[in-house]
Structure 1
Amino acid sequence: MTRVVATGTFDILHPGHLYYLEESRNLGDELYVIVARDVNVKHKPRPILPEEQRLRMVRALRPVDHALLGDLDDMFRPIEEIRPDIITLGFNQHFNEEDLRQKLRDRGLDIDVVRIPGYPGPLASSSKIVEHILKTRGPHRLVGRAGEGE
């Protein structure tokens, strides 16, 4: 059985997330997803949704067999417990594949690292979705329309 691990923040779920998880699941028989803890997200703005809500949403997705929150102190601890054959990275995750492979080997883990290409759709990132909402539905667009559509 081939075990795959995908990781990410998964804030404001969108088709790009689903694509990443489907492609990750296609590489093996069992998909574990590690959802980043709120306090560990430092490379981009703090998530909009709290970690428990993001975890619940990821757990509900069809390609996901198991989902858990990441470790607060050691990102490799869940990997050591799961012992996957493959770790997938999203197209925009800030990891160098070879550096990650070396860090895994240093911990006695022989795991393949696979980069999943980006989803081809126009709104394939949470930040682009937020930008789009602000541009098309921001406060300046709602003047005189209070309560409309609610």
Structure 2
Amino acid sequence: MQIKPNPKPQTAMINQHQTIKIQLAKLSVSSLAIFICFFMASCSKNALPEPQKKASPMYTQLPKGFKLIEEMNPKSQTETRVMKLEKGMMYTIRLVKSKENHSKVLLYNGDKRIVSSFARGRYYGGINYLCKKTGNYTFVIEADPKQVPPKVVFAFKKS
């Protein structure tokens, strides 16, 4: 009786060899795809999120945690702006000065004055306000008549 070699071990080795080739091909394709994604992301400015905007061209440094709402370049000596403020938010309004400036920021809720940047005979560079009730508030910027109106920056943060 003649013993025939079992063809299955050879087939198993061939299948194993093909499986390794397929796995290497998948790994190569995956690596290439990852490389292309990173390359495209580094070339595209919009692919990655931008860092939080902490400053504006007018005002170089906002207080920690504040996000810019708006910049304003007043055209007259008195500017009025109505904004909706939300309860529980801290708001800051900053006057951007190049030199000593005697301008004021006033915050009103209806006819009631809430806060002013002029207190006890002294001018301050802006105001901070923790909103206790959601609603429309009026900001009045009064510039010194002898000077150019200062630029104004509005910002907020959750408190």
Q: Flag whether TM exceeds 0.5 (same fold).
A: no
Greater CA radius of gyration, 1 or 2?
2
Q: TM-score, normalised by structure 2?
A: 0.24
